[in-house]
Structure formats: C-alpha cells, structure tokens
Amino acid sequence: MDAYISAQPEATQRVLHEIRRTIHAAVPGAGEMISYGIPTITMGGHYVVYFAAWVHHISVYPVPRGDEGLATELAPYLSGKGTLKFPLAKPIPYSLIAKVAAQLAAEKKMEN
C-alpha cells in the first residue's frame, strides 16, 4: 500500500494517508493489502473497503447498505451503484469515510 500511495502526486498522498489512518481508526485491528491494484482494508482475511486515487477525486468502494441516515449523507458523493467519489478540489469528509468504514465492517461481521 505504501508503494501505491507514494506513486501519487504529493497532495493526493496526504489525502490517501489520512484516509488510511481514518479507516484504521474506524476498523481497529484491520489489515491491508492491494487488491485489484488499489488499497484494500481487510478484516479476518476478507475485504472491508477499497479506496483509490484518480486525477480529480478519491473513490471509496463499496457503498454501505441499509442505513437510511448514512445513505442521505452519502448521496452527494454517490457515483453508480457502489462507488463514492470525493473530489480532491473540495474538503475530504474524513468523518463520513470513517462512518462508511465502520458500517462496512459491521456488515462484514454480520456476513461471517
């Protein structure tokens, strides 16, 4: 994951490091790997959340389901069925990303 982050422009690296830290704080004990060529946070050997840098935005995948309040907060960032896009030109809502990671971790625990 370090190599992926360090390959990005410096400003994007700062955002990616903060997203990584934010997700780990929301999902204590999580692991990490590169899957599908992008950073992946894991729990118990299963993916929880992916994130990726693009030229103009950061994407976070997948989108949690079943929490209407969270869905309302995520609506401005929703792109397609399962992607959240956070424009790099605007402040990144790290607290919202933490909620996403925590919800996805809870969903993953329910599956296993």
Domain membership flag for residue 112: no
Q: Is residue 70 part of a domain?
A: yes
The CATH number assigned to the domain holding 65 equals: 3.90.1150.200
Q: Is the pLDDT of residue 112 over 80?
A: no
- Per-residue pLDDT, 68: 87
Domain count, the chain: 1
- Asked whether residue 49 is assigned to any structural domain, the reply reads yes
CA distances from 82 to 21, 51, 59, 62, 107 (A): 22, 12, 10, 5, 15
Residue range 53-71, pLDDT digits in tens: 999 999 999 998 888 889 8
* 111 within domain boundaries: no
Return the pLDDT at 86: 98
pTM (2 decimals)? 0.93
The answer to whether residue 76 is domain-embedded is yes
pLDDT tens per residue across span 95-110? 999 999 999 999 888 8
Q: Could you give the CA distance from residue 40 to residue 58 in angstroms, rounded to a whole number?
A: 14
Q: Evaluate whether residue 61 is within a structural domain.
A: yes
Domain limits for position 94: 2-106
Q: For residues 16 and 58, give the distance between their C-alpha atoms in angstroms, rounded to a whole number.
A: 8
Q: Could you give the CA distance from residue 78 to residue 15 in angstroms, rounded to a whole number?
A: 19
